[in-house]
């Protein structure tokens, strides 16, 4: 009889599970009053990651926990739609007009500049995340047994780094455990390459589960 070895995602999720269910309460961070953690995974393993988190969430709910997921992809689309149809159409027209330009990256650079202004800063995407967290906590019967996942972060590529997002969300989560599901690669001991493409970012304080 052969036994299947756990995948990297399964190992990371299992370590997270153990830290959430500790007898002395959830302990996902070594930094006081900064209850964040990051669970990296290869972007091509998106669906495997979702399955593992779904199973963990079901187990936690069976144990009396409240679990919530803030879908960053949906928040990004809502931000774009809020600008009205003219905004999106102008972006598409601009991108098409530059498709045959001598510099093929110019269109993407201009697109990034327009979108980033909607996402950056404390009044950008971070404000939407904080509002979503507040809704989840408002529906939770026991905030001390609540965990929130930030998922679908890949939608932010290449417009926005998640390190900037966490910086503005910190201090607005009532110190409940918040786990960023991070599509990317671990570089060295603490570097994270978003989507495995961007240069490694070491501007992260949360614990990295691996």
User: Is the pLDDT score of 174 beyond 80?
Assistant: yes
Pick from 36, 32, 29: nearest CA to 182: 36
- Residue 145 counted as domain residue: yes
Q: What is the pLDDT of residues 53-65, one digit of tens each?
A: 999 999 999 999 9
Measured in whole angstroms, the distance separating CA 8 from the mean position of its chain's CA atoms is: 18
- Residue 109 counted as domain residue: no
State the average pLDDT over residues 38-47.
95
Q: Which residue range(s) make up the domain with 175?
A: 8-77+121-208
Q: What is the pLDDT of residue 39?
A: 96
- Residue 91 counted as domain residue: no
- Which percentage of the chain shows pLDDT scores above 70? 94
- Residue 100 counted as domain residue: no
User: Is the pLDDT score of 51 beyond 90?
Assistant: yes
- Residue 54 counted as domain residue: yes
Which CATH number belongs to the domain containing residue 70 in this structure? 3.40.50
Q: What is the pLDDT of residues 176-192, one digit of tens each?
A: 999 999 999 988 877 89
For the chain, give the mean pLDDT.
88
- Residue 114 counted as domain residue: no
Count of structural domains, the chain:
1
- Residue 1 counted as domain residue: no
- Residue 73 counted as domain residue: yes
Q: What is the pLDDT of residues 104-151, one digit of tens each?
A: 677 677 778 888 888 999 999 999 999 999 999 998 888 889 999 999
């Amino acid at each position: 009889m052969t036994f299947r070895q756990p995948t990297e995602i399964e190992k990371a999720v299992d370590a997270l599970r153990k830290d959430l269910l500790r007898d002395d309460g959830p302990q996902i961070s070594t930094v006081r009053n900064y209850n964040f953690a990051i669970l990296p995974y290869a972007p091509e393993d998106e669906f495997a990651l979702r399955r593992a988190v779904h199973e963990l969430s079901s187990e936690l709910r069976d144990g009396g926990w409240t679990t919530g997921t803030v879908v960053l992809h949906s928040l990004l689309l809502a931000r774009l739609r809020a600008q009205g149809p003219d905004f999106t159409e102008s972006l598409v027209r601009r991108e098409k007009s530059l498709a045959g330009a001598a510099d093929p990256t110019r269109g993407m650079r201009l697109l990034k500049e327009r979108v980033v202004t909607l996402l950056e800063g404390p009044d950008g995407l971070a404000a939407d995340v904080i509002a979503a967290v507040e809704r989840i906590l408002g529906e939770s019967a026991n905030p001390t047994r609540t965990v929130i996942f930030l998922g679908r972060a890949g939608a932010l590529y290449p417009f926005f780094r998640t390190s900037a997002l966490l910086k503005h969300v910190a201090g607005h989560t009532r110190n409940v455990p918040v786990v960023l599901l991070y599509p990317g690669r671990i570089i060295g001991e603490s570097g994270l390459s978003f989507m495995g493409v961007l240069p490694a970012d070491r501007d992260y304080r949360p614990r990295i589960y691996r």
